[in-house]
Structure 1
Amino acid sequence: MQSLAEAYVHPAGVAWPRLIVDGDRPVGFLMAFFDIDWRADGTLFRSGLWRLNIAADEQGRGYGRFAVESVAAEIRRRGGKQLYVTWHPGPNGPEGFYLGLGFRPDGETSEGETVGVLELEGPEES
């Protein structure tokens, strides 16, 4: 509920909440963001993955990869060239997942989280 509330307090088109389903089974949730003012002064805008939650018993089945690829395709469709994400560092965090998908830490942190970026090359896959 918190994610949906957050999605609708931003201007239209900024937040992109999506339920991840397999057939008729919900398996996860993602929320992306588009063109958020990263520095709050109008000098740097970014798009990326705000939240990604896959049910514990559904992890390791490709749903997370599908979610990230879906966000990447939407960012490309909107003309973006980079996908950003943040994660909590530590042995039980998602760092290995994101690094395995090609994200690289960009040297920044945000509220104690690692900032990662995935370079998006080429046109949207169809």
Structure 2
Amino acid sequence: MTSSTPRLEALTPKNLDAALGIRVRPEQEFAVAPVVKSLAEAYVHPEAWPRLILDGDRAVGFVMAFFDIDWYENGTALRSGLWRLNIADGEQGRGYGRFAVDSVAAEIRHRGGKELYVTWHPGDHGPENFYLRLGFRPNGEVVEGETVGVLELG
């Protein structure tokens, strides 16, 4: 597990380089965009919520959520969820991913949401089993080759 209590921190000029230094395992790179792409997307999408995951002073991951986006771009489905989750190579298996998902779930609940959405690439080194263990269930949708999963927040 973690060596101290992990926390999320908003991106600032002071921690930007630490965020940009987050790298997943090489065999996982097909399944998640690098942090630099996420930050570029956050710059142009006001619904993005990028956060650095810290354990003490050590950057261990990056998470980016979205809130109330128009999923189909026609006004029929506003959704909130997990846009990106990058846990650094060497830091996986220590509870940081679960912490990040729980933190996003708490923020969605705080904003009145009842569901947390995520998409994942299928594949041997992808995150599907991680999300299924956390309780996400495929909802039958596939977006750009990715499985759509939802977690009921109750």
Q: TM-score, normalised by structure 2?
A: 0.76
**C-alpha offsets along residues 42-95 of structure 1, whole Å, 9 cap, x if unaligned?**
111100000000011000000000000000000000000000000001121110
The letter of the residue matching 1:8 is: Y
Deviation at 1:97, TM superposition (A): 0.2
Match of 1:2 among 37, 48, 54: 37
Residue type at the aligned position of 1:3 = S
Q: Which residue of 1 aligns with 2:61?
A: 28
Task: Let me know the Cα RMSD of the aligned residues.
Answer: 0.7
Equivalent in the alignment of 1:96: 129
Give 1:116 deviation, angstroms. Answer: 0.2
Residues in 2 aligned to 1:70 and 1:87: alpha-carbon distance in whole angstroms: 19
- After the TM superposition, list the runs of 4 or more consecutive aligned residues in structure 1 that deviate by more than 3 angstroms: none
Q: Which has the higher strand share?
A: 1
Count of residues in correspondence between the two structures: 119
Instruction: List runs of 5+ in structure 1 lacking aligned partners.
Output: 122-126
Q: Which amino acid aligns with 1:16?
A: W
Q: State the structure with bigger RCO (CA 8 A, min sep 6), 1 or 2.
A: 2
1:73 paired to 2:112: no
Structure 2: tracts of 5 or more residues without a match: 1-35
For residue 50 of structure 1, the aligned residue among 83, 102, 107 is 83
| TM-score where L is the length of structure 1 | 0.92
